[in-house]
Amino acid sequence: MRLSLSNSFINKIIFNMNRTAFNLLRVGLAITFAWIGYLVINNPAGWATFIQPWALQYMPANVVGMMVLTGYLDIAAAIMMLIGPTVWIGALIGAVHLLIVLITCGISDITVRDVGLMFAFTALFVETMPSSIKAWIKI
């Protein structure tokens, strides 16, 4: 019963995207973010080495601690991507997170694919955000 409620909600908010494409996109992004969150939590010091030295001075806390927090945020965003009413929140978190990654790590051979993931999250956010937010930002 819970699945049908979630699908009902999703059907109401999807106007331009095919339902199968929508589900493939959100589940694929959720798997990606859950996986990367797990990897970051298990090796925060290793992932911290990707951050540009100039960006470290703007960290509000220890960089390793910030990476662990980032890993948990990635997993939270992944979970939100799987729950109908919170897809837009997870997508927004994912898009903003990847924008921050691209700014603080720079675009390289490794982060270049984050550009595509960021735009996929942005597309999903635009498709699923509540109409009140669409009206506020005039989309």
- The helix (H) or strand (E) run that includes residue 13 is helix 2-13
Q: What percent of the chain has pLDDT over 70?
A: 88
Q: Can you give the pLDDT at residue 2?
A: 45
What size, in residues, is the chain?
139
> In the predicted model, is pLDDT for residue 5 greater than 70?
no
> In the predicted model, is pLDDT for residue 3 greater than 50?
no
CA distances from 137 to 3, 15, 126, 131, 132 (A): 31, 18, 11, 10, 9
**Greatest Cα-to-Cα distance within the chain, rounded to the nearest angstrom:** 51
User: Residue ranges per domain, the chain?
Assistant: 2-137
Taking the model in full, what pTM does it have?
A: 0.82
CA distance 101 to 98: 5
pLDDT one-digit tens code per residue, 57-93: 998 899 999 999 999 999 999 999 999 899 999 999 9
> In the predicted model, is pLDDT for residue 14 greater than 70?
no
> In the predicted model, is pLDDT for residue 39 greater than 90?
yes
